[in-house]
A and B are shown apart, each in its own frame.
Chain A
Amino acid sequence: MINVEHLYKRFGKNEVLKDISIDIKQGEVVSVIGPSGSGKSTFLRCINLLETPTEGKISVAGVDLTDKNTNVTKAREKIGMVFQHFHLFPHLTVLENLTYAPLKVKRLSKAEAEEKALVLLDRVGLSDKKDSYPNSLSGGQKQRVAIARALAMEPDLMLFDEPTSALDPEMVKEVLDVMKDLAESGMTMLVVTHEMGFAREVADRVIFLDQGLLIEEGEPHAFFSQPKSERAKDFLDKIL
């Protein structure tokens, strides 16, 4: 599904990603963990080209995103993204947030887009909020709307960048539950998270980044109980 080969990203002289290569299969849930500034967000943002890779090749669902002839805007339709700070469209209602891209990008009919949006809102448990504006929602509700908005484009792949980090503790679970449900439905997911519980229980694989290098990857239980590298050990000691 995702194929990354020798990915490098530099901001000026600052080399943020160094020679990252990874394959992610369809339906796989991969957690990306690592210390602050290690390049987790940058890695994720390279996958839908919110950041342009300096070197290397990225393909998603068979489309080479780093090829100059690829229509990036088109390719992004199939890659959902959920941000730490939600970024819902504040001037649109919850329902309009969900139907906007399907209407304007996929050119669905209004009836069809709304029907699908209502199914998704039901799935994230927010049917009663369809006519509310984002600013009247709690953080957890906003994030669930944001997930539904991304799903409305029927993506092949979902990227999550610390989706629960901006939430009050009591709201973390409602969002994680939605993500868990999504993982069980077979969605391919790449999740940057500090929620080790989620990484352990839901992820099929954990990858550990430090200073732009992919240091270690593995099955979550093995990784958390017996990390192979010193750096991963240090990191886990600090946070667990």
Chain B
Amino acid sequence: MPDSPIRFRSVSKWFGTSQVLKGIDLTFGMGHVVVVCGPSGSGKSTLLRCINGLERVQEGQIEVLGQELTDRTLRSSGFRAEIGMVFQRFSLYPHMSVLQNVTLAPRLVRGTTAAAAKERAIRMLTRVGLADKVDAYPAELSGGQQQRVAIARALVMDPKIMLFDEPTSALDPEMIHEVLDVMRDLAASGMTMVIVTHEMGFAREVARRIIFMDEGEVVEDSETSAFFSAPATDRAQRFLDKILHH
């Protein structure tokens, strides 16, 4: 296992003529939790989506788990399943029960038998506190429960890296903590995590590093305590002021 599971080398990306990532250089440590923050449109989601190939870049290289991301490596379903991803919302399959949502990939991608997949799925659902919801359908769950199912669905593939794109932004305030609790447990278990979030309290507590982006650039990349006590740039300071006094 390489010591840095994710490495960006001079990565640039354009959507049409507008450049949304500007020469990004980054490395992420094994078992580390990194929080990415920054104003809307700064390129956080794009950065995250580059890690599992949902977005392709025009310049630079991205190395994940020792492999350079290319059409060939990304075509491997086994490789993609090593990188779990949780979205803001709408990602559960509404026509399937919770159990079917969680067992679909083990059965179809890994060829696990139905019984073994079910057993493993129930283990993951128990881990996120939803053992009693296996037969429910997504529409019957609260937003927080849906997000926990989405986490279980990613975890069931036994990923080496977990990506989160604002997993609590679409939730009612009272449901945020139940999702953050699950993520906190996951961090404690040593999972490598990259999290885009505006939950600064959570970031402060769980992240080892904070990456602050603005206009497609990594403006600041600091130890968590350093970032919160004394951000090195004005831009980060202004962002923090705005978000903390909100």
Same complex: no
